[in-house]
């Protein structure tokens, strides 16, 4: 210990003991002090200074800020970037001998101890700025209520502990460094931590441009920020105004400003603007994507081993998070949805775009604004994603699930023109016709699945898919095995939006499980990516407060034989030219997809892809899709007797893709392996049967009706 520290410690010990003896009787306080001083000793002790909680900034793929997260709204600032008048104001009111005294202001310490011990709480600072910095460090380091109470308790032991730390701090740092640290750690009220955040929150300026009156206001706030928080009430603002004027009088008394300057500043109004706190997903340009990012970091062990660690990582870490969202593609999705569905409509449209080969989510959009105002029909959950990422229960995916049965058939060696003759209704012949993945019989021979407009005859993998024929897919699922279809879907990342297990009913192929657009889009992206499945991805890089970077790579696996995926893409591309999307048309480049409509038009979907981008669009009524079906509804100003996959979701998908890929050169699909998948093998169309007439161009109602099923 330096000689200065020894002299100061001795002086403080003597002075505080004397103060303890002179204090009114409060239950043996003198004895308590003597005991504490003997136990602790007064010598410098190194203070652990963990990094301050700082805001985390989230960026889009082009480096633009889209959100902020924080536990404490703080922006650290260098001392040279703080207005001189702010430094003068805080020193004048808190520790006017700051640059003159040693590690401890003896006079202030004695005064504070007397006041605090008689009041039974920490009612007065009175400490040096160094001691106040120490107390704030201990408080910020506290992780339990016990530790927080220990940092605030009114006792000689706490004060002596602070003195020991303060001595070490002043040996370690210059006065300017200590002042900078104090200004960054201090709480000013109104949820603003540090002088930079306070300047912005209180007055809408940065700390470098604070005026005299503003600086005095902030300097006055630090003593008891909770009682002078201007964001709370008129009385709080009156108390803050009184504190400001006290600071101005003190500055004048000390000769730091003239009496006239003090008078002029006191004549000004408080001027609290209450600038909204930045950050949070409600303020983000892309709120649904923001919610996804937040929940991904809070739930994924990649970002921390425990929930607490992940929360601190996100909200205290001062990170810069680089994400996958593409502003151009996001705009394309938003505009396409807005064109077809109004925010005031009861049904909600939502869309996700995913990049094949990486799983990167490029856009997440919905027809309604994210928020809590139910009167304005705002949504308070992430309708584009699953429950694990802030979403809800989702909507039944309808015939988009037929794709997984198609893929399973191709995996088992069926050819594109292979098929069988089906009727207008399908009924399982036996209870054992369908078995779930536990091997249990789950078929219902008493239930008939129908095609409302007939749709019978010979159907191949291609024509059955193009026409989305229910009875064909029920028979196809019977042939390839229900559990095999379920496993195919799972291999492509399919899981229920609500987090429950997939229901394994015979109508699985008709899309009776509730899904979200991110999950469905990502599954279709795997087909577009030659069978390469990649987990949905939103974070590409994180830079910590010290500039250390960590890159995050796609997590992929080969879920399907590439030739199987390419064959499925080839068949699905015919949906635009020969199937349920023929009335809507294509996008001017190779594309593939599948419409989806559930029983009695409860919900409607379209999921599709190009080699470069996949997307899924859903529409349903969040009040309850089964109770509020899409029959006789007005959406986007247009009346629909019945909403099908090609009615609203298909056009949204088409308009999105045209705009999103405007600057991307077209890419062709890989040609089908004709030797493997061409022809029809032994299950060809009977020669004597006349092939059903194709629907006229622009009229998809007959084929869409085949999308319906009585699935209960």
The count of C-alpha atoms lying within 13 angstroms of the C-alpha of 548, restricted to the half-sphere facing its C-beta, is 3
Q: What is the pLDDT of residues 150-192, one digit of tens each?
A: 666 666 677 778 888 888 999 999 999 999 999 999 999 998 9
Q: What is the pLDDT of residue 53?
A: 82
* Consecutive H or E run containing 486: helix 482-491
- Mean pLDDT to the nearest integer, 184-212: 95
| Closest listed residue to residue 578, CA positions, set 671, 685, 495, 696 | 696
Assess whether pLDDT exceeds 80 at residue 630: yes
Assess whether pLDDT exceeds 80 at residue 32: no
Percent of the chain with pLDDT over 90: 70
Report the distance separating Cα 258 and Cα 604, nearest Å: 73
Max CA pair span of the chain: 116
- Mean pLDDT to the nearest integer, 601-610: 96
Tokens standing for residue 412: 């088992």
Task: List beta partners, residue 597.
Answer: 604
How far from the centroid of its chain's Cα atoms is residue 553's Cα?
19
Structural domains in the chain, sorted by start = 72-266 (1.10.3810.10)
Sequence-distant (≥ 6) Cβ neighbours of residue 178 within 8 angstroms = 129, 130, 133, 169, 170
Report the distance separating Cα 413 and Cα 673, nearest Å: 12
Least confident of 221-230, 349-358, 449-458, 675-684: 449-458
Q: What is the pLDDT of residues 358-399, one digit of tens each?
A: 999 999 999 999 988 888 899 889 999 999 999 989 999 999
129-166 burial, b if ≥16 CB within 10 A, otherwise e?
Answer: bbbbbbbbbbebeeeeeeeeebbeebbbbbbbbbbbbb
Assess whether pLDDT exceeds 60 at residue 417: yes
Report the distance separating Cα 415 and Cα 675, nearest Å: 10
Task: Decide the pairing of beta strands 73-74 and 192-193.
Answer: parallel
Contact yes or no for 361/615 (Cβ under 8 A):
no
Tokens standing for residue 640: 């629909």
287-299 vs 307-316: helix axis angle to the nearest 10? 130
Contact yes or no for 602/396 (Cβ under 8 A):
yes
Contact yes or no for 568/462 (Cβ under 8 A):
no
Q: How many helices (H) and strands (E) does the chain have?
A: 24, 23
Q: What is the pLDDT of residue 103?
A: 60
Q: What is the pLDDT of residue 361?
A: 98
| pLDDT greater at residue 640 or residue 311 | 640
Identify the burial level of 27 via C-beta atoms within 10 angstroms of its C-beta, where 0-12 means exposed, 13-18 middle and 19 or more buried. exposed
Place of tokens 């779930």: 436
Report the distance separating Cα 300 and Cα 306, nearest Å: 9
The rounded radius of gyration (Å) of the Cα atoms in the chain is: 34
Question: pLDDT grade, residue 52 (50/70/90)?
Answer: confident
Q: What is the pLDDT of residues 70-113, one digit of tens each?
A: 888 888 999 999 999 999 999 999 999 999 886 666 665 565 55
Length of the chain: 712
Contact yes or no for 578/685 (Cβ under 8 A):
no
Sequence-distant (≥ 6) Cβ neighbours of residue 440 within 8 angstroms = none
The whole-chain average pLDDT of the chain stands at 87
| Closest listed residue to residue 346, CA positions, set 368, 369, 366 | 368
Report the distance separating Cα 23 and Cα 108, nearest Å: 15
| Closest listed residue to residue 361, CA positions, set 177, 522, 560, 596 | 522
Q: What is the pLDDT of residues 552-581, one digit of tens each?
A: 999 999 999 999 999 999 999 999 999 999
Report the distance separating Cα 569 and Cα 669, nearest Å: 8
Contact yes or no for 216/222 (Cβ under 8 A):
no
Task: Decide the pairing of beta strands 395-396 and 361-366.
Answer: unpaired
């Amino acid at each position: 210990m330096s000689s200065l520290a020894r002299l100061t410690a001795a002086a403080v010990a003597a002075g505080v003991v004397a103060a303890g003896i002179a204090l009114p009787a409060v239950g043996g306080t003198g004895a308590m002090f003597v005991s504490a001083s003997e136990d602790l000793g007064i010598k410098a002790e190194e203070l652990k200074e963990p990094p301050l909680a700082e805001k985390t900034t989230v960026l889009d793929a082009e480096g633009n800020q889209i959100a902020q997260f924080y536990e404490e709204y703080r922006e650290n600032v260098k001392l040279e970037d703080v207005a001189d008048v702010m430094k003068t104001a805080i020193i004048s009111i808190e520790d006017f001998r700051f640059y003159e005294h040693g590690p401890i202001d003896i006079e202030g310490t004695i005064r504070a101890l007397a006041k605090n011990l008689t009041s039974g709480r920490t009612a007065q600072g009175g400490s040096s700025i160094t001691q106040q910095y120490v107390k704030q460090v201990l408080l910020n380091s506290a992780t339990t209520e016990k530790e927080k109470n220990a940092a605030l308790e009114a006792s000689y032991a706490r004060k002596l502990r602070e003195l020991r730390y303060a001595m070490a701090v002043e040996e370690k740092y210059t006065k300017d460094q200590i002042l900078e640290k104090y200004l960054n750690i201090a709480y000013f009220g109104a949820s603003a931590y540090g002088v930079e955040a306070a300047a912005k929150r209180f007055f809408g300026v940065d700390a470098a441009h604070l005026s005299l009156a503003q600086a005095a206001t902030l300097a006055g706030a630090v003593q008891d920020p909770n009682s002078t928080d201007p964001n709370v009430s008129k009385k709080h603002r009156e108390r803050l105004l009184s504190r400001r004027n006290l600071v101005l009088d003190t500055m004048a008394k000390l000769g730091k400003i003239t009496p006239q300057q003090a008078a002029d500043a006191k004549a000004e109004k408080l001027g609290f603007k209450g600038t909204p706190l930045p950050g949070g997903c409600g303020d983000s340009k892309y709120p649904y994507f923001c919610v996804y990012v937040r929940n991904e970091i809070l739930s994924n062990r990649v970002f921390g081993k425990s929930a607490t660690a992940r929360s601190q990582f996100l909200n205290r870490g001062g990170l810069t998070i680089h994400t996958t969202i593409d502003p151009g593609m996001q705009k394309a999705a938003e505009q396409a949805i807005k064109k077809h569905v109004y925010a005031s409509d009861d049904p909600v449209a939502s869309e996700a775009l995913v990049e094949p080969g990486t799983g990167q989510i490029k856009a997440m959009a919905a027809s309604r604004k994210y928020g809590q105002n139910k009167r304005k029909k705002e949504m308070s959950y992430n309708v584009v994603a699953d429950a694990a990422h802030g979403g809800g229960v989702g909507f039944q995916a309808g015939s988009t699930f037929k794709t997984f049965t198609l893929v399973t058939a191709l995996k088992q060696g069926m050819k594109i023109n292979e098929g069988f003759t089906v009727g207008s209704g399908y009924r399982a012949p036996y209870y054992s016709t369908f078995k779930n993945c536990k091997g249990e019989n789950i078929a219902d021979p008493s239930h008939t699945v129908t095609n409302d407009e007939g749709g019978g005859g010979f159907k191949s993998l291609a024509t059955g898919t193009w026409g989305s024929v229910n009875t064909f897919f029920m028979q196809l699922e019977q042939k390839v095995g229900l559990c095999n279809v379920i496993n195919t879907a799972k291999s492509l990342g399919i899981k229920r939006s609500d987090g429950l297990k997939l229901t394994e009913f015979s109508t699985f192929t008709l899309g009776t499980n509730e899904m979200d657009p991110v999950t469905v889009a990502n599954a279709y992206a795997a087909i577009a990516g030659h069978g390469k499945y990649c987990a949905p991805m939103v974070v590409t890089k994180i830079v910590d407060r010290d500039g250390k970077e960590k890159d995050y790579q796609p997590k992929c696996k080969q879920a399907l034989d590439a030739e199987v995926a390419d064959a499925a893409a080839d068949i699905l591309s015919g949906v635009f030219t020969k199937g349920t999307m023929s009335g809507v048309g294509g996008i001017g480049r190779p594309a593939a997809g599948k419409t989806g409509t559930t029983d009695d038009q409860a919900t409607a979907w379209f999921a599709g892809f190009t080699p470069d981008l996949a997307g899924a669009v859903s529409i349903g009524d969040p009040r309850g899709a089964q109770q509020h079906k899409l029959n006789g509804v007005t959406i986007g100003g247009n009346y629909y007797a019945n909403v099908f996959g090609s009615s609203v979701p298909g056009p949204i998908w088409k308009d999105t893709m045209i705009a999103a890929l405007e600057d991307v050169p077209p890419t062709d699909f890989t040609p089908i392996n004709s030797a493997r998948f061409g022809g029809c093998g032994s299950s060809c169309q009977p020669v004597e049967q006349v092939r059903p007439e194709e629907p006229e161009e622009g009229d998809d109602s007959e084929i869409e009706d085949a999308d319906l099923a009585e699935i209960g």
